[in-house]
């Protein structure tokens, strides 16, 4: 099953940052589509619905921010190794 991490567009530095919210989804999600586009007309998965309460760190400014606009949040696929060990970038929150 594909695994994704939610990234949020930072208004302060104009870069997407990982939020620490992860999602396992049975279908491939097209890259570069916002969460609003991916889940248009359907219910949001609980992990993403709760995201409006989460904050993320901008490493460029050192400040904690919040992104509640689902057109500015995205899913970045993480790689899975054959034994379920994460083989791609690891994002710590």
Predicted structure pTM score: 0.74
What are the Cα distances from residue 48, in Å, to 6, 61, 63, 87, 89? Answer: 8, 25, 22, 23, 20
d(CA 71, CA 46): 17
| Average of per-residue pLDDT across 63-84 | 80
Model pLDDT for residues 13-38, shown as the tens digit of each residue: 999 999 888 888 888 888 788 999 99
Q: Is the pLDDT at 87 greater than 70, yes or no? A: no
| Average of per-residue pLDDT across 51-74 | 88
Q: Which of 10-19, 47-56, 84-93 has the lowest mean pLDDT?
A: 84-93
Question: CB–CB of 57/64 below 8 Å?
Answer: yes
The alpha-helical segments, DSSP class H, found in 13-69 are 35-38, 46-49
| Average of per-residue pLDDT across 41-59 | 84
Listed in sequence order, the residues at least 6 apart from 90 whose beta carbon sits closer than 8 Å to its beta carbon are none
Quick one: pLDDT at residue 93?
Answer: 43
| Average of per-residue pLDDT across 42-53 | 81
Residue ranges per domain, the chain? 3-78
Question: CB–CB of 8/83 below 8 Å?
Answer: no
């Amino acid at each position: 099953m594909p695994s994704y991490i939610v990234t949020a567009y930072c208004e302060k530095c104009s870069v997407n940052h990982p939020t620490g919210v992860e999602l396992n989804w049975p279908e491939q999600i097209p890259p570069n589509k916002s969460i609003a586009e991916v889940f248009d007309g359907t219910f949001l998965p609980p992990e993403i619905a709760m995201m409006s309460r989460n904050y993320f760190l901008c490493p460029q400014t050192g400040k904690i921010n919040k992104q509640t606009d689902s057109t500015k949040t995205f899913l970045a696929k993480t790689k899975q190794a054959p034994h379920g060990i994460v083989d791609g970038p690891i994002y710590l929150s």
